[in-house]
Amino acid sequence: MKKKDPTVLESPDLVAFISLFKKTNPRPFKRKSDNRIVFEFAEDVSEAVDAFYRNVPVNIADYCKTLKMIRSMIFNVKAGIS
């Protein structure tokens, strides 16, 4: 069986939604090609991406908390804190 490549995304709002929808935390890292902070999901997130663009309702308080956590990850990676 072929191993699936991880999904790498850059958009914090989309990453927060996927994290909330799939109940999983992404792995942040600095992409070497452009030094941008991106997030890696080891599992298939296509269903969650589709749900994001279909505007599936989620709890706004949970979404804001998750988005805050994602933004914190960005600043920690930029600062060199893992």
Per-residue model confidence (pLDDT) at position 4: 76
Rounded to whole angstroms, the Cα distance separating 77 from 82 reads: 6
Per-residue model confidence (pLDDT) at position 62: 98
Q: How far apart are the first and last CA of the chain?
A: 32
Domain count, the chain: 1
Helix (H) or strand (E) holding 54: none
53, part of any domain: yes
Per-residue model confidence (pLDDT) at position 54: 98
Average pLDDT of adjacent 10-residue blocks, the chain of 82 residues: 81 98 96 95 96 97 98 94 66
- Residues 6 or more apart in contact with residue 58 via CB below 8 angstroms: 17, 20, 21
Per-residue model confidence (pLDDT) at position 2: 58
1, part of any domain: no
Per-residue model confidence (pLDDT) at position 3: 64
16, part of any domain: yes
Q: How many CB atoms lie within 10 A of CB 24?
A: 13
Domain that holds residue 54: 7-79
2, part of any domain: no
